[in-house]
């Protein structure tokens, strides 16, 4: 454990849970665009480090929420875990083995649910074809117990709550409601019997009335099929509802991670605190709301990445505690992957509440 | 957000809940899609006129060997009187060998349509492969293919066609080849643009996350969503190919052994029909070309309106 990380006093150190996906030192960057002429002259665009040193474990059968503002790198992390982006550095291991060339087999085990259910369904395909697509890609014509393709599709649709499944076969995505479309996306993932589902903002495009249903469905899959779920969300209220553990990201780094009740009831990072202050259920609205510009990943500040917006620095509290210099100039090391409640903050190191 | 047991969602239309094979499901879907498109097409008057004219010409072309004795088209076997104006014997008169213009036009339809369709198939194949490769792979491949496409696009096609046609020699196959080589660039451009937009759709990423490779993505997602745009363009390309064949024939680069409408016009020119006033030798093939081109264009625009989602909303 690095010096900057502070273990929570009542850390749940069971040590029994097995990590199914391990992310180590993940770095993903995007190159800014430059003009044709500038490109020929060898000029490079500003490099944005969307993910800049993330260590993360996803344990078997758990729901882990990856939370943060838009642009903090949470979706980029999820896409890198899915192998949809090539990381500049770091490693992703599935069941202890690095991904490397086993990507195709890996994609049977790890499925993704997207933010926009309408866009993620091909408008020219029927529901049957959409759900069967995974089977066809992996050339699976029979289930493990000799089921036909049709039986596998029917089972996936029922598991996703679309019953009776036969009625949906010939429908097109535009004939379904938003919630039903997200269920189709989930059925398309379930048909391959995955062990992990990565859900990127799974309910943010849905009506409030069906959000609960889709979340309940995800929880049910975890209970009944022991699927591990990584939920990417900007909404800590959602994390509170579904997650066992929460990881809060800021500007490409995880700044606080731990069991959901701990992190959300007793946040130790001023940023987590600020995010919670805007969730109505989690407490008062009167507390200071986060000020300042949203961060620009092409210009990562010195010292603690959060210091330009940190209320403790702004109010002079950090100065009184004698850590302001460190907050402004000394960079924090990335948090290691662990089950404990960890925080990357000089304030928390002193045992101070944010 | 309260967590409740997820209720069972019901779909509205209830088709019989019988177990069907995946193949049967796919075919049922295709039949439905075609029927739905046909219903929309039928309401388009312009498209229906175009289709009617086309069907008449296609029927004539297919039935040509039944309607006309092919030997009578050989100048040596022709029994008619040359340069005859329209009469009861020869409805549209005769040419310099005494061949009936009606016979010539019916056979000409065969050649002109054949060239039009095959040249279009070639155009579409080259254009789609280049366009999809450029749009899908991007980067260096795109830069290279795009430069190549632009080069063909700015080159005056008629010059290139004349050079190629005279180099390769005047056979029907070479004419088809020349037309395909000179007209694929526009299609490639269109396909590339459409590929670029389809490539970014979330369902392509979903398929990639499912484990799909390039081939699966191109054939199952890119192509079906690019195809409607190509298809409407294809129909317009047939019209252009027929016109191109006519142009080359009039310039004397056509295959003299296969009497297309263009070749008829060229013969009438070279025999001085214009100065001698043999209007029946010149005007009917011209009218046929205009009618067929117009019919294809009308069908093409009607299809474009149906298949192009941006136009459909109007």
B6–A220: do the CB atoms touch at under 8 Å? yes
Residue B310 has a pLDDT of 60
Mean pLDDT of all residues in B148-165: 90
* pLDDT band, residue B67 (cuts 50/70/90): confident
Closest alpha carbon to A239 in A251, A256, A226: A256
Q: pTM here? A: 0.80
Give CA angle at A336 (A330, A340), nearest 5°. Answer: 115
B211–A138: do the CB atoms touch at under 8 Å? yes
Let me know: does B162 contact B253? Beta carbons within 8 Å: yes
A133–B207: do the CB atoms touch at under 8 Å? yes
Q: pLDDT, tens digit, for every residue of A122-137? A: 988 889 999 999 999 9
Distance CA B90, CA A37 (A): 69
- Quickly count: other Cβ atoms within 10 Å of residue B97's Cβ: 19
Sheet containing strand A47-59, strands side by side: A47-59, A19-31, A89-94, A97-98
Residue B309 has a pLDDT of 59
Min Cα–Cα distance to chain B from A190, Å: 11
Using a CB–CB cutoff of 8 Å, tell me whether A48 touches chain B. Answer: no
The complex's ipTM? 0.83
**Does residue A145 register a pLDDT over 80?**
yes
Distance CA A109, CA A238 (A): 25
| Domains of chain B, CATH where assigned | 93-312 (1.10.3720.10)
Give B190 or A5, the one with higher predicted confidence. Answer: B190
Distance CA B150, CA B189 (A): 9
A192–B210: do the CB atoms touch at under 8 Å? yes
Of the listed ranges A36-40, B82-86, B145-149, B222-226, the least confidently predicted one is A36-40
Residue A188 has a pLDDT of 95
Distance CA B292, CA B56 (A): 10
Residue A13 has a pLDDT of 42
Q: How many A/B residue pairs have CB atoms within 8 Å?
A: 125
**Residue that has been written with the tokens 């006519």 in this structure:** B246
Q: pLDDT, tens digit, for every residue of B80-125? A: 787 888 887 777 888 888 788 888 899 899 999 999 999 999 999 9
Q: At what angle do helices B101-137 and B223-250 cross, to 10 degrees?
A: 140
Residue A130 has a pLDDT of 94
Interface of A with B in 205-224 (CB under 8 A): 211-213, 215-217, 219-220
Distance CA A101, CA A92 (A): 12
């Amino acid at each position: 454990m690095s010096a900057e990380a502070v273990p929570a006093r009542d850390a749940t150190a069971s040590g029994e849970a097995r990590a199914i996906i391990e992310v180590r030192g993940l770095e993903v960057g995007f190159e800014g665009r430059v003009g044709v002429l500038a490109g020929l002259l060898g000029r490079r665009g500003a490099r944005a480090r969307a993910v800049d040193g993330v260590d993360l474990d996803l344990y078997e059968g758990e729901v882990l929420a990856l939370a943060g503002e838009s642009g903090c790198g949470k979706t980029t992390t999820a896409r890198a875990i899915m192998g949809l982006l090539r990381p500049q550095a770091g490693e992703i291991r599935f069941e202890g083995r690095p991904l490397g060339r086993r990507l195709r087999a890996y994609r049977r085990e790890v499925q993704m649910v997207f933010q926009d259910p309408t866009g993620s369904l091909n408008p020219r395909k029927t529901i049957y074809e959409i759900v069967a697509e995974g089977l066809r890609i992996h050339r699976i014509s029979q289930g493990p117990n000799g089921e036909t393709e049709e039986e596998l599709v029917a089972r996936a649709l029922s598991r996703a709550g679309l019953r009776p499944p036969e009625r949906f076969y010939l429908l097109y995505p535009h004939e379904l409601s938003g919630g039903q479309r997200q269920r189709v996306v989930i059925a398309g993932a379930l048909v391959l019997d995955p062990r992990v589902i990565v859900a990127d903002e799974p309910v943010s495009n849905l009506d409030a009335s069906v959000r609960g249903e889709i979340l309940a469905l995800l929880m049910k899959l975890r209970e009944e099929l022991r699927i591990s779920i990584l939920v990417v969300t900007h909404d800590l209220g959602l994390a509170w509802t579904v997650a066992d553990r929460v990881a809060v990201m800021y500007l490409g780094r995880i700044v606080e991670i731990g069991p959901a009740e701990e992190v959300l009831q007793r946040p130790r990072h001023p940023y987590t605190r600020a995010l919670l202050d805007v969730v109505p259920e989690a407490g008062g609205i009167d507390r200071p709301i986060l000020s300042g510009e949203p961060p620009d990943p092409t210009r990562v500040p010195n010292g603690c990445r959060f210091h330009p917006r940190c209320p403790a620095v702004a109010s002079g509290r950090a100065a009184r505690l004698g850590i302001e210099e460190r907050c402004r100039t000394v960079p924090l090391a990335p948090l290691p992957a662990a089950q404990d409640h960890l925080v990357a903050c000089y304030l928390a190191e002193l045992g101070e509440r944010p | 957000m309260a967590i409740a047991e997820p209720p069972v969602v019901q779909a509205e239309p209830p088709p019989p809940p019988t177990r069907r094979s995946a193949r049967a499901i796919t075919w049922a879907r295709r039949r439905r899609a075609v029927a739905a498109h046909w219903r929309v097409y039928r309401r388009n008057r312009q498209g229906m006129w175009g289709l009617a004219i086309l069907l008449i010409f296609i029927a004539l072309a297919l039935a040509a060997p039944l309607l006309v004795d092919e030997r009578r088209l050989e100048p040596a076997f022709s029994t008619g009187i040359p340069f005859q104006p329209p009469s009861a014997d020869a409805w549209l008169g005769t040419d310099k060998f005494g061949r009936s213009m009606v016979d010539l036009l019916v056979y000409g339809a065969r050649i002109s349509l054949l060239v039009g369709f095959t040249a279009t198939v070639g155009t579409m194949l080259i254009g789609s492969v280049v366009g999809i490769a450029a749009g899908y792979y991007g980067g260096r491949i795109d830069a290279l293919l795009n430069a190549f496409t632009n080069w063909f696009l700015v080159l005056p096609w008629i010059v290139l066609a004349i050079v190629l046609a005279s180099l390769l020699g005047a056979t029907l196959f070479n004419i088809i080849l020349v037309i395909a080589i000179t007209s694929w660039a526009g299609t490639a451009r269109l396909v590339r643009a459409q590929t670029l937009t389809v490539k970014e759709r979330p369902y392509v990423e979903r398929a990639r996350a499912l484990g799909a490779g390039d081939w699966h993505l191109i054939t199952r997602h890119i192509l079906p969503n690019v195809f409607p745009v190509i298809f409407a363009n294809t129909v317009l390309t047939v019209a252009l190919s027929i016109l191109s064949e006519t142009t080359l024939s009039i310039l004397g680069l056509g295959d003299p052994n296969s009497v297309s409408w263009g070749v008829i016009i060229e013969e009438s020119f070279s025999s001085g029909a214009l100065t001698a006033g043999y209007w029946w030798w010149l005007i009917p093939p011209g009218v046929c070309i205009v009618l067929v081109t117009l019919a294809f264009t009308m069908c093409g625009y009607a299809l474009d309106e149906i298949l192009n989602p941006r136009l459909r909303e109007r």
